[in-house]
Amino acid sequence: MDSTAHRIVQQVCLAQKDSRAADELIASYMPFIKSETAKFLKRPPNPEDDELSIAMFAFYESICKYSIRRGSFLKFAALQIKNRLIDNYRRESRNKGHISLDEPNESQQPLAETIPDPKNQYESGELREATEQEITMLSAQMAEFGISMTDVTEDSPQRQRTMKICRKAILYAKGNPDILSEFLRTKRVPLAKIAEGAGVERKPLERHRRYLVALLLICANHYEILWGHIIQVLERGGES
């Protein structure tokens, strides 16, 4: 970790314990917050824009949620800001009765992310960059568990029945923060608890342990882009 990154981590750790330090950190990174908001709005934000307030709150949330295992703080904060702004846009669209390409489809993946638009290079570039950030952070965290992307690919379920079991297991874990906390704390997949809670067999989960590690990390760290892709794959494979 270079000196600049180390200094930011120190500032964040202090801000997690001291509200005044958190306020100072937010104030010092207002150019960054405005820049991330501008990427979403496609224009510089005005002081009265709700999006700027949402981005500031997302930055504060990033301070509270950050840990060193999440990788670069600024990359993590940028992703949090983007996710919050997207959530707000969807909510506003629903309240106004608009049908939007950003409304989630049945797999909870925004339709705009499933429809390639070669004319919109800005959006595709933003999505690609955000996806790369998530993959980079996920890869670093997987390394702490002794696995790689190749391991996960080799361990991925292929049969529909197994994919359905994995889907039920991961949805159960995602809905139970205690399971995710135990997983992060022990660096072990609590297979018995997950199998029992999800009502599935344990043996198929054991055969795909490394795959489950990746999915649990995606859930625990709120990697929304990767989650949208994974759940769509599992739903397609789990169709009877």
Task: Write down the pTM of the prediction.
Answer: 0.51
Nearest to 229 by CA among 213, 218, 240: 218
How far apart CA 103 and CA 93 sit, in angstroms, is 8
How far apart CA 102 and CA 15 sit, in angstroms, is 34
Q: Which of 70, 100, 130 is the last residue of a domain?
A: 100
- Count helices and strands in the chain by DSSP H and E runs: 13, 0
Is residue 225 domain-resident? Answer: yes
| Span 77-90, pLDDT tens digits | 999 899 889 888 88
Q: Is 98 exposed, middle or buried (0-12, 13-18, 19+ CB in 10 A)?
A: exposed
DSSP one-letter code for 106: T
Q: What six digits make up the tokens of 132? A: 């790369």
Query: In the predicted model, what is the mean pLDDT of residues 100-123?
Result: 40
- pLDDT of 203 over the 90 cut: yes
Is residue 76 domain-resident? Answer: yes
Query: In the predicted model, what is the mean pLDDT of residues 221-238?
Result: 72
Is residue 121 domain-resident? Answer: no
Query: In the predicted model, what is the mean pLDDT of residues 131-147?
Result: 83
Is residue 125 domain-resident? Answer: no
Range of the domain at 160: 142-237
